[in-house]
Amino acid sequence: MSSAADRGWGPGWPNAQTDKIVTVVCGANQLRLPVRAEIGPLVAALVRDLERARGAPFRPDWSWGFANRAIRGTSTPSNHSWGLAIDLDAPDNAMQGPPPPGRNTMPRSTGKIAARYGFRWGGAYTSRPDPMHFEYMGSPADAEGLAPDLDGQENEEMLRKGDDGPDVKTLQRNLNAFHRGDPKLKADGDFGDLTESSTAAAKRKLGLGSGGRTASVEFQLKLVQVLGQRHVREVARRLRSRDVSEEEIDRAVDEALGELRIE
């Protein structure tokens, strides 16, 4: 596994870059987590989604981030020394011995939620699970690329990479229709890599950004509007081949487009 330095974050312990650390205030209890500035929005989104999933806020006095130190018992810099790791509710989610893992207070969906924002969850470690621990595994460019996907993140109706279910399946079907089946996306209800790339391509065409890890309500509605507009125009084309007056066709098209709120 590559180190944070290999991924472009510069030096960690003992020469930590303290000038690049900011304090992110997040969560229902206003946690104060010092982390690298580039991942600040991702940390806030991670904490928010974890609290929603587990139905309880984290404690400020049990949660922390940056620490200029090595991994305990080694001379290897800790990801905390880059400001790329946080620990949440440490006493209730302490590092454990070999599996099977012991008790922790993280939700079952923790791994998926962490991956959504580019983090690796310590609770999934195979040797010594560390459920309090989350570390960012991407590069500075990766973090910057995720930032546009966080627009409107407070909207609970947003679909995100890692989600599954009927709403994702509807999104996939609409993406297939929007792209006219090229490439064909399997409507399996799983928001994975292919759905991400298809969403990103649609956003670019619609002028709604470029990140594909989330599908906001605005984006989903725009897809439906564009598909509706296409359908209305196709119906109008067919009517013109029949004995229907242009006036009747124009009136029907105007009414249909008005209902779709297409400008």
Asked which of 85, 115, 147 is the last residue of a domain, the reply is 147
Residue 13 lies in a domain: no
Q: How many domains does the chain have?
A: 2
Please report, for the domain that includes residue 89, its CATH number: 3.30.1380
pLDDT at 22 over 90: yes
Q: Same domain, yes or no, for 27 and 137?
A: yes
Kindly tell me the sign of the dihedral angle through the C-alpha atoms of 162, 166, 167, 173. positive
Task: Please give the pLDDT value at position 257.
Answer: 54
Top pLDDT among 179 and 250 is at 179
pLDDT at 256: 56
3-state secondary structure of 34: strand
217 and 157 in contact (C-beta within 8 Å)? Answer: yes
Nearest CA to 143 out of 67, 35, 42 is that of 42
Same domain, 80 and 54: yes
Give the phi and the psi of residue 22 in degrees, each rounded to 5.
-125, 160
Residue 5 CA to residue 43 CA, distance in Å, equals 20
Within a domain: 8: no
Task: Kindly report the CATH number assigned to the domain that includes residue 172.
Answer: 1.10.101.10
Residue 195 lies in a domain: yes
Query: pLDDT-based confidence at 225, cuts 50/70/90?
Result: confident
Who has greater pLDDT, 60 or 152? Answer: 60
Range of the domain at 101: 18-147
> Cα–Cα distances in Å, from 9 out to 67, 79, 80, 251?
15, 10, 12, 60
Is pLDDT above 80 for 183? no
Q: Report the alpha-carbon distance of residue 25 to residue 28 in Å, rounded.
A: 10
- The pLDDT-based confidence of 98 (bands split at 50, 70, 90) is low
Query: CB-hemisphere CA count at 13 Å for 116?
Result: 29
**Once rounded to an integer, what is the mean pLDDT over residues 23-49?**
92
133 and 63 in a single domain? The answer is yes
The stretch 160-175 carries a mean pLDDT of 88
Average pLDDT on 52-64 reads 92
Residue 262 clears pLDDT 50, i.e. is over it: no
| pLDDT above 80 (res 100) | no
* Same structural domain, 34 and 115: yes
Query: Are 118 and 40 contained in the same domain?
Result: yes
Same domain, 93 and 107: yes
pLDDT band at 195 (very low <50, low <70, confident <90, very high): very high
